[in-house]
């Protein structure tokens, strides 16, 4: 059986969610062996910033407010707390909402057969006999359809069991809600709804294999889920960049995950020179081959599909997490890798497009069709930078950019005009 969304194998059909993309693939009744609930580590509670600020407000109010008012505010604070539940030495659950341990509503644990179980506690589930669970992956791509925009709204599972299983023990952040019903099928009554958020934090490893000039290569990098979320939560009011000079702030080449990936690419290249055009082309080829362009159509742009915004500049960590990105996203990633490997680098902003830039001491264009491509370069502070197209899915040489340009005008005619040109990291 294969996932209808991404095509990955989901086994014999006895599963709930695809292990690759999380898509709900149908419920078949079966019984699980539960893993023992994970232990609660020492110092298990922490306050979010919102909770800390609210608690301070409560202390001020205590000087003037009635006891009953303080009690109400303190009760509201429970929803702003986060409990930490240790799983292993380097993985843990962050629980909020009705998943707070003190609320004694939900438990979350890893099952013996490699799944995550979200379960209502026995004393609560004994009151109901039917449940409608909604599973929402907070890091899912924004659209549930690749043809036109349909906002992802999670997957809903109706069942008689007071537990929801997630097929894989993938780290991530999940919002879970369950509507609890009682009564015979024809007269079921909704009695209670519980909801909360679980962030399963741990290490993510991304491994890549690709063929370049007839040879097979591999590279990898690892990073914590919290590192990725750090970047995702930055500039959360929008990522549209009007001042193109800001694009260089996204090139986080000193990030440990970028450094590790750069070193892995360098190791894959072997003992050949890693300071010339050939190695730069190898790095560019890695980005071109290993990162997809998000699905898009005349009804939905790539950023809209992936991030839910018409224009979204992504940090390299986000592009690595999703394995895809549009022109500015993969250009930013390529620039970060170039910079981490010792090259001078940047991003070139041109009408309706972006490409990476790499500085080279010497350059040979190689053979190419002058009817299809032009060479774009610019010398800045004594360094000559060459444009690098990242949105193709097979190697395209450094410096070569499609002649079609914006509405048929070659891109080179825009360099140095208005906001267009090379922005160096």
The residues, any chain, with a CB within 8 Å of residue 235's CB and separated by 6 or more, are none
**What local confidence, expressed as pLDDT, does residue 407 receive?**
74
One domain for residues 242 and 301: yes
**What local confidence, expressed as pLDDT, does residue 342 receive?**
97
In a domain, 5, yes or no: no
Q: What range does the domain containing 141 cover?
A: 45-202
Residue 208, beta-bridge partner list: 219
One domain for residues 72 and 152: yes
**What local confidence, expressed as pLDDT, does residue 334 receive?**
98
One domain for residues 195 and 227: no
One domain for residues 170 and 238: no
Rounded to whole angstroms, the Cα distance separating 41 from 391 reads: 45
**What local confidence, expressed as pLDDT, does residue 56 receive?**
36
Rounded to whole angstroms, the Cα distance separating 416 from 420 reads: 6
In a domain, 26, yes or no: no
* pTM attached to this predicted model: 0.81
One domain for residues 164 and 193: yes
**What local confidence, expressed as pLDDT, does residue 168 receive?**
86
One domain for residues 293 and 415: yes
Q: Among 180, 202, 224, give the residue marking a domain's end.
A: 202
Find where tokens 């009817």 sit.
371
Question: Could you list the pLDDT tens digit for every one of the 425 residues in the chain?
Answer: 445 444 455 555 445 555 554 544 543 222 222 233 333 333 333 333 333 333 333 333 333 333 333 334 344 444 568 999 999 988 999 999 999 999 999 999 999 888 999 999 999 999 999 999 999 999 999 999 999 999 999 999 999 999 999 988 889 999 999 999 999 988 999 999 999 999 999 999 999 999 999 999 999 999 999 999 999 998 766 788 989 999 999 999 999 999 999 999 999 999 999 999 999 999 999 999 999 999 988 889 999 999 999 999 999 999 999 999 999 999 999 999 999 999 999 999 999 999 999 999 999 998 999 989 999 999 999 999 999 999 999 999 999 999 887 777 899 999 999 999 999 99
Find where tokens 């190697």 sit.
395
Residue 181, beta-bridge partner list: 130, 190
**What local confidence, expressed as pLDDT, does residue 10 receive?**
56
CATH number at residue 268: 3.10.620
Query: In Å, how far from its chain's centre is CA 312?
Result: 13
Rounded to whole angstroms, the Cα distance separating 372 from 394 reads: 16
Distance of CA 89 to CAs 93, 230, 283, 422, Å? 12, 21, 35, 45
Rounded to whole angstroms, the Cα distance separating 303 from 149 reads: 11
**What local confidence, expressed as pLDDT, does residue 40 receive?**
33
The residues, any chain, with a CB within 8 Å of residue 65's CB and separated by 6 or more, are none
Are 23 and 3 spatial neighbours (Cβ–Cβ below 8 Å)? yes
Give the chain's domain count. 2
In a domain, 6, yes or no: no
Rounded to whole angstroms, the Cα distance separating 215 from 144 reads: 36
The residues, any chain, with a CB within 8 Å of residue 10's CB and separated by 6 or more, are 1, 2, 3, 18, 19, 25, 167
**Surface-to-core class of residue 418, CB atoms within 10 Å of its CB (0-12 exposed, 13-18 middle, 19+ buried):** exposed
One domain for residues 166 and 290: no
One domain for residues 196 and 248: no
One domain for residues 97 and 239: no
Query: How many CB atoms are closer than 10 A to CB 72?
Result: 10
Rounded to whole angstroms, the Cα distance separating 154 from 268 reads: 39
């Amino acid at each position: 059986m294969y996932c209808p969304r991404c095509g990955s194998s989901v086994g014999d059909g006895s599963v709930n969610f695809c292990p690759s993309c999380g898509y709900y693939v149908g419920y078949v009744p079966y019984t699980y062996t539960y893993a023992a609930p994970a232990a609660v580590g020492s110092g298990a509670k922490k306050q979010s910033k919102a909770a800390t600020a609210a608690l301070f407000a409560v202390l001020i109010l205590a000087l003037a407010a009635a006891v009953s008012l303080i009690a109400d505010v303190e009760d509201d604070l429970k929803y702003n707390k986060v409990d930490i539940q240790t799983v292993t030495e380097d993985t843990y659950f962050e629980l909020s909402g009705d998943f707070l341990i003190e609320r004694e509503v939900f438990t979350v644990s890893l099952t013996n057969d490699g799944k995550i179980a979200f379960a209502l506690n026995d004393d609560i589930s004994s009151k109901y006999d039917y449940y409608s669970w909604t599973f929402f992956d907070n890091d899912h791509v924004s659209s549930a359809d690749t043809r036109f925009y349909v906002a992802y709204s999670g997957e809903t599972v109706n069942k008689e069991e007071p537990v929801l299983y997630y097929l894989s023990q993938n780290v991530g952040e999940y919002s879970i809600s369950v509507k609890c019903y009682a009564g015979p099928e024809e007269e079921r009554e909704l009695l209670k709804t519980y909801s909360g958020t679980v962030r399963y934090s741990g290490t993510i490893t991304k491994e890549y294999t690709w063929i370049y000039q007839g040879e097979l290569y591999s590279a990898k990098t690892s990073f914590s889920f919290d590192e990725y979320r750090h970047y995702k939560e930055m500039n959360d009011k929008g990522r549209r960049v009007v001042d193109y000079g800001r694009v260089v702030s996204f090139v986080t080449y000193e990030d440990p995950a970028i450094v590790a990936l750069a070193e892995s690419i360098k190791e894959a290249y072997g003992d050949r020179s890693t300071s010339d055009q050939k190695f730069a082309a190898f790095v560019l080829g890695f980005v071109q081959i290993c990162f997809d362009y998000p699905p898009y159509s005349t009804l939905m742009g790539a950023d809209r599909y992936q991030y839910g915004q018409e224009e979204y500049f992504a940090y390299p960590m986000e592009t690595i997490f999703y394995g895809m990105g549009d022109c500015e996203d993969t250009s930013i990633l390529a620039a970060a890798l170039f910079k981490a490997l010792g090259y001078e680098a940047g991003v070139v902003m041109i009408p309706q497009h972006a490409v990476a830039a790499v500085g080279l001491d010497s350059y040979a264009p190689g053979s190419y069709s002058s009817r299809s491509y032009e060479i774009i370069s610019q010398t800045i502070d004594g360094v000559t930078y060459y444009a690098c197209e990242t949105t193709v899915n097979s190697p395209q040489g450094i410096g070569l950019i499609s002649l079609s340009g914006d509405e048929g005008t070659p891109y080179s005619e825009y360099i140095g005009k208005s906001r267009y040109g090379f922005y160096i990291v």
